[in-house]
A = this chain, B = another copy of it.
Amino acid sequence: MGGDLGPRSVVPACIRFLQRFPLASLKLYGPAPQLQDLLREFHSTSVADRLEVVPCEQVVTQECNPVHALRRKRDSSMACALKAVADGEADAMVTSGNTGALLALSRSILGTIEGVRRPALGKSLPAEAGSCFLLDLGANIDCSAEDLVQFARMGVEAQRVHTGKRQLKVALLNIGAEPHKGTEEIRRAAELFESESSIDYFGFVEGHDIFTGVADVVVCDGLMGNVAMKSAEGVIRLMGQKAFTIERKNPFKRFFGQLAIKLLRKWRTQVEPARYNGASFLGVKGNVIKSHGGASSEAFYRAMITAKECAEADLAGRLSRALAP
């Protein structure tokens, strides 16, 4: 029920997902009449036997804060979908709803994996050489060096699932590569990373290095990670915007401009959030995938693919084993 478009982006993505993956089945949580109407509108009959609508009247709004969600939204569509994961009725849960509420409800309903101090939100982002897993994206504001070590170990497991690679280099996000740069906590984390045998530590990297692929996993606190991801999204959107403005101004170039814009759109899909949609909430006992709030149907479908990868590889189980104390 969340995100800018609500079930209007979710329902067509679900139908496409079921058509593409004949062994998959889905449960849709939300107000039944609204969802049934949309299912009819988008012609879901061919996949109806694998698509169950679970009626939930209560909905978590975008304005709802985490404390309110914990106290008053235990019967919301978001909470009910998480309960299905907790009860083993679902292998993964996907939502584009309120992030703060999702993190709070996930912790409360699924519980935290033993040994994990703080679950973290992470996501594969496009890079010149493949992809780069960035975490934390905003679940934790103040992070200790020890937290960052746990993030690194969780990020490695997640990126293994997404890429299939065994050997993954881990870097710390900082404002420079030199060892004296950054906060005391980041410098202390660097020492811990170096002594940690389960981490192949690369060193400090800067914001632009996320997208070069020098490291497979980049670790930072939620403030830096959130700013990095959203700034990158913002500038991509701006670039599309500028392109259209220039072409309208010059009628002579409009023809080639149209062709170029087509290609530009294609290129944008290589790097834009839609293609890399679906952040994983790592460290809770279940696979929870957060889709971008502004996700289109195409983007939500991508988040579902991410969820499928996590479920098939049993990412939550892997994390339990990897982080067991």
Interface residues, chain A, CB within 8 Å of chain B? 63, 65, 100, 126-128, 138, 141-142, 173, 175-176, 178, 180, 182-183, 206-212, 220, 222-224, 226-239, 241-243, 246, 253, 256-257, 259-260, 263-264, 266-268, 270-271
Contact = CB atoms under 8 A, between A and B. Distances in A.
Interface centre among A65, A234, A239, A264 (most CB of B within 10 A): A234
Contacts of A253: 263
Given A223-B182, A264-B267, A128 B238 contact: yes
A308 B253 CA distance: 34
For the residues of A in contact with B, the DSSP-based class is helix
Contacts of A246: 263, 266-267, 270
Contacts of A175: 138, 141, 222-223, 226-227
Give the copy number. Answer: 2
A295 to B, nearest CB: 14
Contacts of A257: 263
24 contacts: A63-B178, A65-B178, A65-B180, A138-B175, A141-B183, A175-B223, A183-B223, A206-B230, A207-B228, A208-B230, A210-B234, A211-B235, A212-B238, A224-B224, A232-B232, A235-B235, A239-B268, A239-B271, A242-B271, A243-B267, A253-B263, A257-B263, A259-B260, A263-B264
A176 to B, nearest CB: 8
Contact of A210 (B226, B231, B242): B231
B173 A227 contact: yes
A239 to B, nearest CB: 5
A255 to B, nearest CB: 10
A238 B226 contact: no
A233 B256 contact: no
The 10 closest A-B pairs by CB, nearest first: A207-B230, A208-B234, A260-B260, A207-B231, A211-B234, A232-B235, A228-B231, A175-B226, A211-B238, A260-B263
A294 to B, nearest CB: 10
B260 A237 contact: no
Nearest to A63: B178
Nearest to A260: B260
A164 B242 CA distance: 22
Contacts of A231: 207-208, 210-211, 227-229, 231-232
Nearest to A209: B234
A266 to B, nearest CB: 7
B238 A127 contact: yes
Given A256-B260, A259-B259, 5 more contacts: A207-B228, A208-B233, A228-B231, A239-B267, A246-B267
